[in-house]
Each structure stands twice: as C-alpha cells, then as structure tokens.
Structure 1
Amino acid sequence: MDSDLASIDSADRLREQFDLSFASAPALPAAGSVNLLTIRIGAEPYAIRLADIRGLHADRRILDLPGPMPELLGVTNFRGQIVPVFQLAALLGKCPGAAPRWMVLVQASAPLALAFEAFDSHICVLDDEIISPADAAGQGGVRTASGVVPLLDIGVLAAQVEARAAHSLSGLTP
C-alpha cells in the first residue's frame, strides 16, 4: 500500500515539474556563446551567425527576375515586402549545384535574402571556438563537432551585394 502511495506521489511531482517547465522562460545561451546555423552549399559545410539573420525559410516561391547581377535569382515576398533573392553559392564564387531550397532573410540596411541548398542544424559554440576573424571575402572559421567549418559574415556579404547592386544600377541610368 505504501509503495502505491509513493508511486502516486512521485507521478504527481513529475507531472507538476513537467507542467511548470512550459511556464518557465526558455534558458538563455551561456555568456560567451554564439548561436549558429550550419548549412551546406553543394557538399561543403558553412556556418552562419543566428544574430545576422531575421529568419530561415524553406521552399519559398522565387519569381524569376532579370537583373544586372548573375547571382540574383529573383524576388520573393516576406509579409508583403518584395525581397531580392541571391544565390549564396554564386556570391561565394562557387559553382551552383542543385536549385536552392532554403533561404535566410538577412539583417541588413535593405531587404535581402540568400538562398542555399541545405540546412543542417542549429548549434551553440563558445566564443573561443571561433578561430579566425572574418576576412575581406566575408569568411572566418569555427570549430564544430565535425571539424572546422567556414563561418560566413553575412553583414559583409550583404554590404558587398548592396554595393555591387548600387554600382550596377548607376550604370543603367542615363
């Protein structure tokens, strides 16, 4: 009889702890850590800081749009805002493989989306696992469980795209 009461009491405590876990705020990442998305362009892995993007999206319709930049895939709609979509592989000087399925909406001065082939995971790394600062091409590195992965500086890439687009458009005006 006592074991039955103990089991009921234990089950009640577990149920209460479970219910309270949904009422609590999610745990914040530890100080000194960085949240990253790991993606793939072809077979090559890359990482993106979560703080550099406003969203990750799959299977968005892209309306083809001719433009002065070969990396421009077209435009898509995010909550009523028309956003240009650029192929990340082409921006990095890589040969585009399969049609990009995923895209990130970038935190930039102008709306911008970067499309790529595969999203792998979300990881959290310590600051000291970021092993090199971003270079002029917008790449650094980060140690992950699968080895060192290039860390893309999305802000640098977005600034390069905006500068190239402004330059291309200035050549089109009479």
Structure 2
Amino acid sequence: MTAAASQRAAEMRAEFDRIFADESRVETALYCDVVIVEAGAQLCAIRLSELSGIVAGKTIVPVPGASVALRGVAGIRGAILPVYDLAVLIGRPPAASPRWLAVAASASLALSFDRFERQLRIEESCFLASAPQSAHRGGVVRSDAYSGPVLDLGAILKDIDQPSQERPFS
C-alpha cells in the first residue's frame, strides 16, 4: 500500500470513528408502542404496555342479567375472562358482533372491539394532554402515522369496578 493510500485509509477510519462518537447523533427520542383499534366507529390508541395480548375469533358466551357493557365471558389462554364492550365503555353504541379482544395486563378481563387497525411506535413527544371532560382519554396523539385519542385503560378498568352514569368520551 502506498503512503497516500495509507494516509487516506487513516483519514477514513478517523472520520468513521468521529461520526459515531458525535453525541449530537445519539438518538434520544423516547417511543411508545400502541395498537390502533376501532370501537363504536371510533379509532383509538391503546398503549401496548397496558395489554397482555390481542386475540381474534373467540366465542363470547352471554351472561344473563349482565350490564350492557358486559358482553359475556370467553376462554382465553386457559382462563375464563369477563369480556366488556369497549365501545359501550367509551360512550359509543355497542358493537354488533366484535371479532377482536384486547386482554388487559393489569386485570383479568378482556375488552371487545370491532377492528384491529395496526400497531405503531410513536415518539413520546407526539403525545399531548387530554381535555378534562374526557375521563377515558389518556391524552391524544398527533403524528403522521396516527392522530386521535389514546385510551386510559386504568380509568376504563376503574369505571368497570365503579360504574358511573355518564361516560364522556366523544
């Protein structure tokens, strides 16, 4: 190798190392994984960290005398779980025959919804605070991939435990 080639190789190595050592290039953005679902003709985001899974095509067995929100029970991963209609819980008309179930991570129950739209990774800076009248919203997202409400699954689960007459969402 000639002296000029050796010098050029050394310069290229130094440039390569400098680029990766540059702190301004270090990615500092935080992201949140969400699933976008449709419940009662409303697209909503649910933080993936609040779910233990999403399943499709489960048979929901109605429970006599149950509230409008309680669709029935379903067998999921070897357990019998109550299934609540997410549309009703957020103040929308009940779904005719939901195909999808979101299994809550913090409680032994599932939420039924009409359609699974997609899963997204959204930068945390795109999450904005929610309007105070929206009890079930955990904020809103404004991004290129999705703009709309983010559900507060904790508030929804609390409402299941202590139902209220008013379900402000829309």
Question: Which structure 2 residues correspond to residues 14-163 of structure 1 after superposition, within 5 A?
Answer: 32-108=30-106, 110-133=107-130, 135=132, 137-139=135-137, 140-145=139-144, 148-163=147-162
Q: In angstroms, what is the RMSD of aligned CA positions?
A: 2.1
Q: State the TM-score, normalized to the length of structure 1.
A: 0.70
Q: In the TM superposition, what is the alpha-carbon distance from 1:56 to its structure 2 partner?
A: 0.4
Q: In the TM superposition, what is the alpha-carbon distance from 1:97 to its structure 2 partner?
A: 3.9
Unaligned runs of 5+ in 2: 1-27, 165-170
* Aligned equivalent of 2:14: none
Deviation per CA, 1:21-55, whole angstroms, max 9, x where unpaired? xxxxxxxxx75100000111243211000000000
* Aligned equivalent of 2:20: none
Using the alignment, how far apart are the partners of 1:97 and 1:130 within structure 2? 28
SS in 1 for 2:161: helix
Using the alignment, how far apart are the partners of 2:121 and 2:47 within structure 1? 10
Higher helix share: 1
Using the alignment, how far apart are the partners of 2:159 and 2:95 within structure 1? 22
Q: State the TM-score, normalized to the length of structure 2.
A: 0.72
Q: In the TM superposition, what is the alpha-carbon distance from 1:81 to its structure 2 partner?
A: 1.5
- Tell me which amino acid in the other structure corresponds to 1:148: S
* Aligned equivalent of 1:14: none
Using the alignment, how far apart are the partners of 1:104 and 1:151 within structure 2? 15
Q: In the TM superposition, what is the alpha-carbon distance from 1:66 to its structure 2 partner?
A: 2.0
Using the alignment, how far apart are the partners of 2:67 and 2:48 within structure 1? 26
Unaligned runs of 5+ in 1: 1-29, 166-174
Percent sequence identity over matched residues? Answer: 33
Using the alignment, how far apart are the partners of 1:133 and 1:59 within structure 2? 33
Larger Rg: 2
SS in 2 for 1:64: coil
Using the alignment, how far apart are the partners of 1:97 and 1:77 within structure 2? 20
- Kept in 2, the 8 Å contact 1:134–1:153? The answer is no
- Kept in 1, the 8 Å contact 2:95–2:113? The answer is no
Aligned length: 135
- Tell me which amino acid in the other structure corresponds to 1:150: P
Tell me which moved more, 79-88 or 115-124. 79-88
